[in-house]
């Protein structure tokens, strides 16, 4: 596969991911404003458990499928690539059925482990989506292994649109019954949207089936049994899934511990639920937005680097890895700076029903969490690189170390009354910082690549600082003349323009980087004059 494929594939997924996040924000923000902090606590409490049950099918196996399919395609074994897909589909259907069954019939037990026993309705409403997502991931993994990202992108966008239409409507209609029923309605919308996404990606697959059939018939290969393929998939998927399960498990720790610790240090139940909802729903939903870009990058890097490894093109591996790491920082640093500087105005604009006290808490949590955006960007991208190199266990161990430190840090800091829930935000930053640095040290040492500190680190950092100062000054100037919302939006646009100009002036991308990007030739002429 050409480097061109991984960068353009990342661009397709990133574009879809941004649109998905925008639609998600359109859904989540009015949902919060209508059902309130209490309703959102019932909505959010289920997700760490859901993510933990979903982790094998949504994280490990799609990565394994795309990696194995990419390797077969590189060797012109298209028939073998399709057999991998069919075996994966069978395996994922079984896993999805099992996990969906466990969540639905175990809803009482799961809700009882939280501080919100009435959340059993939320668990039952979300259970069917485990089956739908699992089956959908077989199609996504196969198409991504073939470097066909459009099907995944389209299904992601329509999935969010379906959630918006169904979930928001049901939440509003069920609100008079109580906040827990409103949350259930919103989560039924999630399950319905996953079914829609599955139908869409299946239609996309069927429409391309003739093309796939031609590829499958292009070369004979030894026929592998289902057991052989399944064991190969699981050998890759299990370490990846263990790594991917670490954050959902720490999320479960958040669900179980945060409200209880806040009650222990003197918070009322209402204030504890509100603080938890502000952290998990308002703050983390914004903090995770930049991760869409780096997650798209990581998803494209796995098959791209796997193909290079299969060809023994180790120079290509280094080149892709260095480009990926540089892109992660070019994305992560300005996003972190912007969220830090405009934390209060952004929350005030999006969540007008927050009280002044809640807004101040959200601003503090946002500023703390913004630092973690830098290292989250690195963790996601470097994990994709290291997994593509066939070293699935390494990022698992590194993230596990970070996850353990997160839980310990949270338990210690949150029990200090002056710190309270801010300790949970600090602990997440600690987790990503440790895991990101460990991943970077391993990747640089393993590939023996030479990292230009100025190009990779200092140029994006300098540009992000200049952008942050400019945004802060612009916001204060605009606020004197126009409403907070318009001042915030205007400052963001100015910040994006300033950062973009600095990217060009400092020549952050090489000619080779630009040659593989959509619109890269035009940027090359601007940067290099040729």
163 to each of 195, 311, 472, how far by Cα in Å?
10, 42, 35
Q: How confident is the model at residue 467 (pLDDT cuts 50, 70, 90)?
A: very high
Residue 2 has pLDDT above 50, yes or no: no
Compute the distance between CA of residue 435 and CA of residue 528 in angstroms, rounded to an integer.
36
User: What pTM value is reported for the model?
Assistant: 0.70
Condensed to tens digits (0 to 9), the pLDDT of residues 223-275 reads 777 778 888 888 877 776 776 677 777 777 887 889 899 999 999 988 898 89
Compute the distance between CA of residue 458 and CA of residue 51 in angstroms, rounded to an integer.
36
Is 379 exposed, middle or buried, given 0-12, 13-18 or 19+ CB atoms closer than 10 A?
buried
345 to each of 334, 342, 369, 415, how far by Cα in Å?
17, 5, 16, 29
Q: Which of 5-9, 54-58, 276-280, 401-405 bottoms out in mean pLDDT, i.e. has the lowest? A: 5-9
Higher pLDDT: 352 or 464? It is 464
Residue 309 has pLDDT above 80, yes or no: no
Count of beta carbons in the 10 Å neighbourhood of residue 317: 23
Higher pLDDT: 418 or 207? It is 418
Q: How confident is the model at residue 3 (pLDDT cuts 50, 70, 90)?
A: very low
Q: Per-residue pLDDT averaged across 487-516, rounded? A: 85
Condensed to tens digits (0 to 9), the pLDDT of residues 373-410 reads 999 989 988 888 887 787 878 888 998 899 999 999 99
Give percent of the chain above pLDDT 70: 85
Higher pLDDT: 389 or 490? It is 490
Phi, psi torsion values for 189, nearest 5 degrees = -60, -35
> Which pLDDT value is given to residue 408?
94
Name the one residue in this structure whose structure tokens are 């199609």: 139
The CA dihedral of 117, 121, 122, 125, to the nearest 10 degrees, is 160
Give percent of the chain above pLDDT 90: 30
Q: Per-residue pLDDT averaged across 11-19, rounded? A: 60
Condensed to tens digits (0 to 9), the pLDDT of residues 345-360 reads 999 888 888 888 999 9
Q: Per-residue pLDDT averaged across 209-222, rounded? A: 55
Condensed to tens digits (0 to 9), the pLDDT of residues 40-85 reads 888 888 888 888 788 766 767 887 888 788 778 777 777 888 888 8
Q: Which of 16-20, 85-89, 106-110, 406-410 bottoms out in mean pLDDT, i.e. has the lowest? A: 16-20
Q: Per-residue pLDDT averaged across 85-99, rounded? A: 90
Q: How confident is the model at residue 524 (pLDDT cuts 50, 70, 90)?
A: low
Q: How confident is the model at residue 150 (pLDDT cuts 50, 70, 90)?
A: confident
Residues with Cβ < 8 Å from 22, sequence gap 6 or more?
A: none
Compute the distance between CA of residue 451 and CA of residue 179 in angstroms, rounded to an integer.
52
Higher pLDDT: 205 or 106? It is 106
Name the one residue in this structure whose structure tokens are 């200090």: 416
Residue 192 has pLDDT above 60, yes or no: yes
Higher pLDDT: 233 or 414? It is 414
Among the listed residues 321, 291, 289, the one whose alpha carbon sits nearest the alpha carbon of residue 304: 321
Q: How confident is the model at residue 15 (pLDDT cuts 50, 70, 90)?
A: low
Is 401 exposed, middle or buried, given 0-12, 13-18 or 19+ CB atoms closer than 10 A?
middle
> Which pLDDT value is given to residue 1?
42
Q: Find the radius of gyration of the CA atoms of the chain.
A: 23
- Please enumerate, as own/partner, the contacts of 94-99 that have beta carbons within 8 Å and a separation of 24 or more: 95/56, 95/57, 95/61, 95/134, 96/57, 96/130, 96/131, 96/132, 96/133, 96/134, 96/135, 97/131, 99/53, 99/54, 99/57, 99/130, 99/131, 99/134
DSSP string, 228-243: HHHHHHHHHHHHHHHH
**Mean pLDDT of the residues in the chain:** 83
Q: How confident is the model at residue 88 (pLDDT cuts 50, 70, 90)?
A: confident
Condensed to tens digits (0 to 9), the pLDDT of residues 422-460 reads 999 999 999 999 999 999 999 888 888 888 889 889 999
């Amino acid at each position: 596969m050409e480097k061109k494929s991984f960068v353009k594939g990342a661009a397709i997924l990133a574009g879809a991911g941004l649109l998905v996040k925008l639609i998600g924000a359109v859904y989540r923000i009015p949902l919060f404003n209508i059902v309130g902090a209490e309703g959102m606590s019932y909505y959010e409490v289920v997700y760490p458990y859901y993510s933990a049950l979903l982790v094998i099918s949504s994280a490990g196996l799609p990565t394994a499928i795309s990696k194995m399919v990419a390797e077969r395609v590189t060797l012109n074994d298209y028939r073998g690539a399709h057999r991998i897909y069919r075996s994966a589909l069978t395996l994922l259907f079984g896993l999805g059925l099992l996990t969906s069954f466990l969540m639905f019939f175990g809803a009482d037990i799961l809700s009882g482990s939280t501080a919100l026993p009435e959340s059993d309705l939320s668990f039952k409403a979300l259970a069917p989506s485990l089956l739908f997502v699992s089956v959908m991931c077989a199609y996504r993994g196969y198409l991504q292994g073939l470097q066909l990202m459009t099907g995944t992108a389209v299904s992601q966008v329509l999935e969010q649109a379906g959630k918006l239409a169904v979930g928001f409507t049901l939440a509003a209609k069920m609100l008079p019954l109580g906040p827990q029923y409103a949350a259930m309605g919103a989560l039924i919308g999630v399950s319905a949207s996953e079914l829609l996404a599955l139908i869409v990606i299946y239609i996309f697959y069927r429409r391309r089936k003739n093309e796939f059939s031609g590829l499958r018939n292009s070369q004979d290969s030894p026929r592998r049994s289902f057991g052989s393929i399944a064991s190969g998939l699981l050998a890759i998927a299990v370490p990846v899934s263990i790594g991917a399960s670490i954050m959902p498990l720490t999320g479960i720790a958040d669900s179980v511990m945060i409200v209880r610790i806040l009650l222990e240090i003197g918070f009322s139940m209402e204030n504890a639920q509100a603080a938890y909802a502000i952290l998990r729903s308002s703050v983390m939903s914004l903090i995770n937005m930049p991760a869409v870009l780096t997650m798209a990058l990581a998803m494209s890097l796995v098959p791209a680097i796997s193909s290079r490894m299969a060809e023994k093109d180790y120079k290509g591996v280094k080149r892709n890895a260095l480009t990926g790491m540089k892109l992660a920082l070019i994305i992560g640093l300005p996003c972190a700076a912007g969220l830090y500087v405009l934390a209060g105005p952004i929350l005030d604009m999006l969540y007008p029903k927050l009280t002044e006290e809640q807004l101040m808490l959200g601003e503090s949590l946002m500023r703390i969490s913004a630092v973690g955006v830098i290292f989250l960007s690195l963790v996601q991208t470097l994990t994709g690189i290291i997994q593509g190199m066939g070293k699935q266990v390494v990022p698992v161990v590194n993230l596990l170390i970070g996850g353990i430190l997160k839980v310990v840090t949270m338990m210690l800091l949150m029990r200090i009354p002056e710190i309270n829930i801010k300790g949970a935000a600090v602990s997440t930053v600690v987790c990503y910082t440790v895991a990101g640095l460990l991943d970077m040290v391993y990747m640089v040492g393993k590939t023996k690549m030479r990292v230009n500190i100025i190009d990779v680190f200092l140029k994006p950092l300098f540009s992000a600082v200049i952008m942050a100062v400019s945004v802060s000054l612009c916001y204060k100037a605009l606020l004197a003349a126009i409403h907070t919302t318009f001042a915030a939006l205007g400052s963001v646009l100015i910040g994006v323009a300033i950062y973009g100009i600095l990217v060009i002036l400092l020549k952050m991308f090489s000619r080779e980087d630009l040659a593989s990007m959509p619109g890269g030739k035009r940027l090359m002429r601007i940067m290099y004059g040729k």
